[in-house]
Amino acid sequence: MTPRQCSRTRKTNETDIRVIVDLDGTGRAEVRTGLGFLDHLVTAFARHARIDLDLECHGDLAVDDHHTAEDCALAIGTAIDQALGDRRGIARFGSAFAPLDEALARAVIDLSGRPFAHVELGLRRDKIGDLSCENVAHVLCSLATAARTTVHVDVLRGVNDHHRAEAAFKAFALALHEALRCDGGDDIPSTKGVL
């Protein structure tokens, strides 16, 4: 099997990002974005997706957290897309539930090559730590779009926003792990012959 790895940089006037992804890793993560709660979510994502992920971002946090959150997600998603290559031999579909105490999240993924994201987290606070709650869902949507992946993530219940957000990232990760699995075939899992 060809190594499913990618190393990328993304440099704009707002952020300077370096990311390395290994889709066949063990879940090891080194994440330094300058946003503690984003680091926490991305680390949980890598761990439960069982991908190795190194991410470092220097962003314009003096402005706010948006550019850093969005650009990190775009960089990770693009690296995943490139590491997948033509997506030959993958399971393609994945779904998972993840609880975190009282919170329960569901994620369904299709590594279809068609970017779409529907994310409903029901967060009520303005911020969790240093990350705006509006950016939690935006990270999932941006990552899915850049990875050319169809994603549906819903938090079904929960009262604690930290738990709701983390459960969503864990469900997303578990579903991605399932979809990334190599199923032993050597074909592209689509009637179209391309993803």
Total of domains in the chain: 1
Q: pTM value? A: 0.97
195 domain-assigned? no
Domain range for 31: 5-180
120, burial (CB in 10 Å: exposed 0-12, middle 13-18, buried 19+): middle
188 domain-assigned? no
93 domain-assigned? yes
Please list, residue by residue across 169-191, b when 16 or more beta carbons sit within 10 angstroms of its beta carbon and e when fewer do. Answer: bbbbbbbbbbbbeeeeeeebbee
126 domain-assigned? yes
pLDDT per residue rounded down to tens, the chain (195 residues): 689 999 999 999 999 999 999 999 999 999 999 999 999 999 999 999 999 999 999 999 999 999 999 999 999 999 999 999 999 999 999 999 999 999 999 999 999 999 999 999 999 999 999 999 999 999 999 999 999 999 999 999 999 999 999 999 999 999 999 999 998 788 888 888 888
191 domain-assigned? no
CATH code of residue 97: 3.30.230.40
